[in-house]
Chains A and B, each alone.
Chain A
């Protein structure tokens, strides 16, 4: 075990790369999720088609295969991505972004129709409806599934070990083969992934608490289904 722990500098470097991939990948995924998710709520059919094409294609392809395609196939058709890191971020972002787009679309659709009607009665423009009312309320519904996707993306970064990047998984494999400490190496990497997931979950909980405050709700320790019906008549009425 001590030999495995002696490689702490490698572990730190691996963890740092995993974190970078998670942050950059989730950034790309968030932008794509918002763009294509909102496209899915458009009243124009051709814009909704963009959403369907993106979601169905990238949700239906394996992230690892997508990464191999960017890494091995794309250069053969004359397009060389700047770095392996960039290819990995793109593959992760495109894949998780497709799931995220469905979360965004579903959350916006789940905002009570009465809220939409109130924005019409107040004569809001379509952009104002989305920006001021539907998106902020939809965001409260998006957060828990976004938390899941963030952790999913973090764990998914392990695929970069197959294209030569030295992330946590690569470090664990390297140390296992150099020290022969199979159980210690792979146990430790499991724990590190778990700790990172818990830190990410803390961020999500923090964001949920902020949204609770925005909606005038007392933050609950666990999200309750009933509180998700933002705008539902009488939801959370003070007794």
Chain B
């Protein structure tokens, strides 16, 4: 169910509206002989915030990587909005997507990585402007203004000239979030964005993401082991195991009274750590 509170706050950075939904239809992904996703079906509504939980190797991150076109599916269809991601229509037939189609589809999607993946050969400003200028064709002045606005949003306006190597992990992740938002994605993928951070830095990044989720109507897919954060940010939680959805529901029910034993075992194990 899409969120009802999509009104940006006064000081919010300009974020895009009317996000597309996502649909997986019998998606298969194998790595060698290991089948990670087995004919997976699920749908994310436009503007919905969904958290994927489950043990390591259950296929959560693979779902994000398929959506970001970092991995290619071995079967099935993935839709972002009304358009297939990995396929295109040619002469009335559905054929594998070419680079041009993938380039168009990627414009809708942004991703924040566990290890930040900032470009160390660029300072913070260039990390934020390079994509908008080179890929979206945004004029330099506009790209710089947008970058400054986003750095304000993530609380790092004073680090505009710093290099990634001069920032702490938490600061790097904030810049990475700003960099993803600078491309004005409609779908934002968060892949264990706080897992690589020191405990005292986790809360700051989570608060930032809560603000962004509140102020925008991005469709959001999040993989995390931080259950409190998942509860706060999600409209719906999907529990994965062995490439299949074991259980899904609103966070209150999923974390309060899960119906499946597998979910209960997983939550018990995570909360015990």
Contacts and interface: CB of A to CB of B under 8 A. Distances in A.
A237 B165 contact: yes
Contacts of B118: 118, 231
The 6 residue pairs across chains A and B that have the minimum distance between CB atoms = A216-B163, A236-B165, A118-B117, A122-B131, A123-B106, A136-B121
A125 interface: yes
Nearest to A231: B120
Nearest to B65: A117
Say what secondary structure dominates the interface of chain B. loop
A238 B167 contact: yes
Interface of B: 68-70, 103, 106-107, 109-111, 113, 115-121, 123, 130-131, 134-135, 162-169, 179-180, 183, 196
A122 B180 CA distance: 7
A118 B68 CA distance: 10
A120 B168 contact: no
A14 to B, nearest CB: 41
A128 B163 CA distance: 20
Interface residues of A, number: 28
30 contacts: A114-B117, A117-B113, A120-B70, A121-B68, A121-B70, A121-B113, A122-B179, A123-B106, A123-B107, A123-B131, A123-B135, A124-B131, A124-B134, A125-B135, A132-B119, A133-B119, A137-B120, A215-B120, A215-B165, A216-B120, A216-B163, A216-B166, A231-B117, A233-B115, A233-B169, A233-B196, A234-B169, A236-B166, A237-B169, A238-B167
B165 A121 contact: no
Nearest to A114: B117
A133 B183 CA distance: 17
A109 to B, nearest CB: 17
Contacts of B123: 216
A166 B119 CA distance: 48
Contacts of A216: 120, 123, 162-166
Contacts of B180: 121
Given A121-B117, A236-B165, 11 more contacts: A114-B117, A115-B117, A117-B113, A118-B119, A121-B180, A123-B107, A123-B183, A128-B134, A216-B164, A231-B120, A235-B120
Contacts of B179: 122
Interface of A: 114-115, 117-118, 120-125, 128, 132-133, 136-137, 140, 214-217, 230-231, 233-238
A231 B119 contact: yes
Most B Cβ at <10 Å: residue of A123, A214, A215 = A123
Contacts of B162: 216
A236 B168 CA distance: 10
Nearest to B126: A132
Contacts of A123: 103, 106-107, 131, 135, 183
Contacts of B121: 133, 136-137, 140, 214-215, 230
A25 B120 CA distance: 32
B115 to A, nearest CB: 4
A231 B164 CA distance: 9
Given A118-B119, A132-B130, A237-B169, A124 B111 contact: no
B221 to A, nearest CB: 13
B39 to A, nearest CB: 26
Nearest to A235: B165
Nearest to A213: B163
B183 A238 contact: no
Contacts of A136: 121
Contacts of B106: 120-121, 123
A237 B170 CA distance: 11
B228 to A, nearest CB: 24
B163 A215 contact: yes
Contacts of A124: 131, 134-135
Contacts of A118: 113, 117-119
Contacts of A231: 117-120
A122 B196 contact: no
Among B117, B134, B164, B168, residue most surrounded by chain A Cβ atoms (within 10 Å)? B117
A206 B110 CA distance: 38
Nearest to A230: B120
A236 B106 CA distance: 31
A217 B165 contact: yes
B165 A238 contact: yes
Interface centre among A118, A120, A233 (most CB of B within 10 A): A118
A122 B133 CA distance: 11
